[in-house]
Amino acid sequence: MKKQLFIIAFLGTIHATNAQYTKDINTNRPSSSMGAYSVSKEIFQIEGGFSYQNDTFENNNENKQQNYQIQLRYGDLLEQLEFIGEFNFSSNQITNGNLNETNSGFRQLNFGAKFLLYDHYKYYVEKRNVYSWKANQRFKWKRLIPAISIYAGAQFNTKNNLYYPNLPDVGLKTMLIAQQHLSKRFSITYNFIGENVTENEFINIGYIVTASLGINNNWSLFGEHQGSISRKYFNQTVPFENDAFLKVGITFKVHQNLQIDGFTGSNFQNNPNKIQAGLGVSWRNHKKYQFKDPTEL
């Protein structure tokens, strides 16, 4: 009897340890990066927003963009596995001298899956020193060890990409994701991204670094730097300054399953000079974990 109880308890511990469900919503917004953790098995989450971008060129030409982004996330099969669909719709108004042109449509569609390879906090628990307040406040170097995930998916490019309209119709998008929790309220996420990785003429290797700071239980701030390491367009190297972008923003948790956000950002050069601002919302269906008897599995 004791042996059976031990096995049940052990299996229950494995179930709880592998779980990634969090009390509060775990959302990627309003950053452009992707976090290492999944939404958890059987959780559905939708994250969407609107952004406005104004691009001004040195010759006084101007592009005005209205962008709508939706990301659908669903955890299934394993706690560490998440399926993701991303939809980006743009409406562009281009002013070139006396020429005014307007077009709209889906700019890019992505469908893929993310898998958590390693979760440092699954094995690491900080111990409190009951004899020393100073020891408890000291920075723990093991916090630098990140959680690691990988992402792979199909990238569907359309002709509505304003700056790169002739990309291949379908490409492979891959991503290596690392996420550090340096304290209970401060984290840094790193994305190393490969787009169109099977097409040497159009391959893009980029990165996103996002820092998030929780002010209290409801408010948080974020800052983000996004850029390219190498981009090719018809085998011609594109200067990385064209894609370097800096964003800052704020989020507010309405309740544990709903968050709203706002952000603004700009690039680092004048041709074009890009100014962007946006608002968004994230929502998930609510689920509470219930212990399942391992003997009934």
Digit-coded pLDDT (tens) for 26-47: 899 998 899 999 998 889 999 9
Closest CA to 291 of 7, 13, 79, 103: 13
Amino acid letter for position 185: R
For residue 162, pLDDT beyond 90:
no
Kindly indicate the confidence band of residue 63, based on its pLDDT and cuts at 50, 70 and 90: confident
Q: What is the pLDDT at residue 173?
A: 96
Summary mean pLDDT of the chain: 82
Q: What is the pLDDT at residue 238?
A: 80
- 2-284: CATH superfamily: monomeric porin ompg (2.40.160.40)
Contacts of 42 (CB under 8 A, 6+ apart): 75, 76, 287
pTM of the full predicted structure?
A: 0.82
Q: Which residues pair with 150 in a beta bridge?
A: 115, 176
Q: What is the pLDDT at residue 288?
A: 56
Residues of the chain with pLDDT > 70, as a percent, come to: 81
Residue boundaries of the structural domains of the chain: 2-284
Q: What is the pLDDT at residue 85?
A: 96
Contacts 24+ apart (CB under 8 A), 60-66: 61/94, 61/95, 61/96, 61/97, 62/94, 62/95, 63/92, 63/93, 63/94, 63/95, 63/162, 63/272, 64/92, 64/93, 64/95, 65/90, 65/91, 65/92, 65/93, 65/162, 66/90, 66/91
Kindly indicate the confidence band of residue 124, based on its pLDDT and cuts at 50, 70 and 90: low
Q: What is the pLDDT of residues 228-261, one digit of tens each?
A: 888 888 888 887 656 678 999 999 999 999 999 9
Q: What is the pLDDT at residue 72?
A: 96
SS3 content of the chain, % helix, strand, coil (to 5): 10, 55, 35
Structure tokens at 5: 């109880």
Q: What is the pLDDT of residues 82-112, one digit of tens each?
A: 999 999 998 888 887 777 878 888 888 999 9
